[in-house]
Chain A
Amino acid sequence: MPAAPAIEADRLVKIYKTVPAVDGVSFAVAPGSITGLLGGNGAGKTTTIAMIMGLIAPTAGRVSVLGAEMPRQRYRVLQRMNFESPYVEMPMRLTVRQNLTVFGMLYGVPDLAGRIEELGEALDLTDLLDRQTGKLSAGQKTRVSLAKSLINSPELLLLDEPTASLDPDTADWVRARLERYRRDRNATVLLASHNMTEVERLCERVIIMKRGRIEDDDTPQRLLTRYGRRTLEEVFLDVARGRGELREAAQ
């Protein structure tokens, strides 16, 4: 019997006043997988992730996470998940260690001091632990946010543009850490991104969104074959410019 999906969205709709941000999205994410949510600005990626996290209530449809209906049953599972997003920051005046201590206590992390040291080593933060978060560089702050998102060793990790504003070297370093985390903990990762290299490298499945709908959903390799392209960036441009629909119509 296949394992129950870590995330299951069923005809998910979010309408702000009269504008549909997400329009009938359905998908299931297998436990232990890394899935990419791809799409341009305003495609509905962040709103979809926010509904999965229980921060936004759907207008229609339902979404369940680790077996709990969101947002109604969110407190059953919030302890087992975490997230990172450029739209949310860590308190700047607190040191890295203070921030991780506060979030570790919120998540009820056992042996918190040990866990902070462990994360410090894993994410190359040891020398920064006692520095004020606000005084760190963008790359260092991203690593701190990543440490916060891993503080409770989540089974489900939701990442919204995890490498936005990072230089290529740091971005690559972050991706390697994410890959390792997924492998070591058999965690499920849902990643919203604009970055095609990132999605190509990390994800075994890609969901492409456009104007609040799912335009395509497959493995990166099958998407490349189907669109007759060499990179996901070209596939993304085809979808964004409507060439995918034209190709399907021609076929």
Chain B
Amino acid sequence: MTAGTEIAFAFSPRRVAAMMLRYWYLLRSSWPRLIELVYWPTVQMFTWGFLQYYIAQNAGFFARASGTFIGAVLLWDILFRGQLGFSISFLEEMWARNMGNLMMSPLRPFEFITALMVMSVVRLSIGVIPVTLLAFAFFGFNLYGFGLALVAFFLNLMLTSWAVGIFVSGLVLRNGLGAENLAWSIMFLFMPLTCVYYPVATLPTWLQPVAWALPPTYVFEGMRTLLIDHTFRPDLMLDALGLNAVFFAAGTFGFLKLLQSARRHGSLMQTGE
């Protein structure tokens, strides 16, 4: 490793704290931003909660599988809002035309990414914790009843959301705000493939290997096993963790390459469309 590379990889918690403070100031300054964090998870949870309530009255299986829909929607929100929380903090810099200031400052890419990851957890907590309480109050669904399994689910979902968020941020950095839509929509590609609301066996046989190549599939399968069979499958979580390591490394590598390419193409100065 050269001296230059060592300096590039030097890590300063102070600079990470500076970026977190920047996003915290921003969140605090805008009540619509705070409301927006809670609004969609609440709407989703109620929609699926009432659907589950209706089906449970009419079908034995769903009565047994009590909570799979609400559990799935809450875990899906961790995955989706985790990535969105990461990407929106990043997009705030593009919208504010502040990226040049940051790229010209001593802030290292890994410090920037770390701040975005921490902020995604903060945003997620503001958005999802109240909704989990509402789920308990209205439908008697206690997400925290998952216990240690919830920690494994959460960790795996966050790792995937960060990996995708990091890669999408690289795309936006390289291609400008024209690529912004990807930040909002890319996770929906995961929705049918990771089998959020149904078992992997539901998919056509040829599509199942694709599903098993995605870490969240293991989490949603694990959640159903826990709710229906009352069994926690650590093997599924370890498989997800292994895949997440690959996703995270690939996302980070992609981000660094796209940043390099942005430097070559002059995109860091022109962060518009």
Q: Do A and B come from one complex?
A: yes
Q: Is the CB of A72 within 8 A of B269?
A: no
- What distance in Å separates the Cβ of B255 from its nearest Cβ neighbour in chain A? 16
- Residues of B within 8 Å of A249, CB to CB, are none
Q: Is the CB of A55 within 8 A of B263?
A: yes
Our pick among B22, B108, B270 for the contact of A75 (Cβ within 8 Å) is B108
Among A35-43, A99-107, A117-125, A191-199, the one that faces the other chain is A99-107
Report the bound CA distance from A95 to B26 in whole Å.
10
- What distance in Å separates the Cβ of A142 from its nearest Cβ neighbour in chain B? 14
State whether the Cβ of A136 lies closer than 8 Å to any Cβ in chain B. no
Interface size class of B (residues with CB under 8 A): 35 or more
- Residues of B within 8 Å of A55, CB to CB, are 100, 103-104, 263, 266, 268-269
State whether the Cβ of B264 lies closer than 8 Å to any Cβ in chain A. yes
Residue interface bits B94-129, CB-to-A below 8 A is 1, else 0: 001111111111111000000000000000000000
Q: Which of A14, A21, A90, A103 has the most CB of B within 10 A?
A: A103
Q: Is the CB of B15 within 8 A of A105?
A: yes
Q: How many residues of A contact B (CB 8 A)?
A: 41
Report the bound CA distance from A162 to B89 in whole Å.
28
Interface residues of A in 69-103 (CB under 8 A from B): 69, 71-73, 75-76, 78-79, 82-83, 85, 87-95, 98, 101-103
State whether the Cβ of B207 lies closer than 8 Å to any Cβ in chain A. no
Q: Is the CB of A91 within 8 A of B30?
A: no
- What distance in Å separates the Cβ of B4 from its nearest Cβ neighbour in chain A? 5
- Residues of A within 8 Å of B263, CB to CB, are 54-57, 71
- Residues of B within 8 Å of A75, CB to CB, are 4, 7-8, 10, 106, 108
State whether the Cβ of A47 lies closer than 8 Å to any Cβ in chain B. yes
Q: Which residue of B lies closest to A69 (CB)?
A: B4
State whether the Cβ of A132 lies closer than 8 Å to any Cβ in chain B. yes
State whether the Cβ of B14 lies closer than 8 Å to any Cβ in chain A. yes
- Residues of B within 8 Å of A53, CB to CB, are 104
- Residues of A within 8 Å of B269, CB to CB, are 46, 50, 55-56, 87-88
State whether the Cβ of B193 lies closer than 8 Å to any Cβ in chain A. no
- Residues of A within 8 Å of B97, CB to CB, are 87-89
- Residues of A within 8 Å of B25, CB to CB, are 93-95, 98, 102
Q: Is the CB of B101 within 8 A of A108?
A: no
Interface residues of A in 1-48 (CB under 8 A from B): 14, 16, 21, 46-47
Q: A75-B106, A87-B269 are in contact. Are A94 and B18 (CB under 8 A)?
A: no
State whether the Cβ of A205 lies closer than 8 Å to any Cβ in chain B. no
Report the bound CA distance from A36 to B246 in whole Å.
49
- Residues of B within 8 Å of A50, CB to CB, are 266, 268-269
Residue interface bits B42-72, CB-to-A below 8 A is 1, else 0: 0000000000000000000000000000000
- Residues of B within 8 Å of A148, CB to CB, are 101
Q: A46-B269, A50-B266, A55-B269 are in contact. Are A102 and B22 (CB under 8 A)?
A: yes
Our pick among B10, B14, B26, B270 for the contact of A91 (Cβ within 8 Å) is B26
Q: A75-B10, A105-B21 are in contact. Are A16 and B98 (CB under 8 A)?
A: no
Q: Which of B8, B10, B29 has the most CB of A within 10 A?
A: B29
Give me 28 A-to-B residue pairs in the complex whose CB atoms sit less than 8 angstroms apart, sorted by A's number. A50-B268, A53-B104, A54-B263, A55-B266, A56-B264, A56-B266, A56-B269, A73-B7, A75-B4, A75-B106, A78-B105, A79-B106, A85-B100, A88-B101, A89-B96, A93-B26, A93-B96, A94-B29, A98-B22, A102-B21, A103-B18, A103-B105, A105-B14, A105-B18, A106-B19, A106-B106, A106-B107, A108-B14
Task: Given A54-B104, A69-B4, A75-B8, output 6 extra A-B contacts at Cβ < 8 Å.
Answer: A46-B269, A56-B263, A75-B10, A78-B104, A94-B25, A101-B18
Binding site for B on A (CB under 8 A): 14, 16, 21, 46-47, 50, 53-57, 69, 71-73, 75-76, 78-79, 82-83, 85, 87-95, 98, 101-103, 105-108, 132, 148
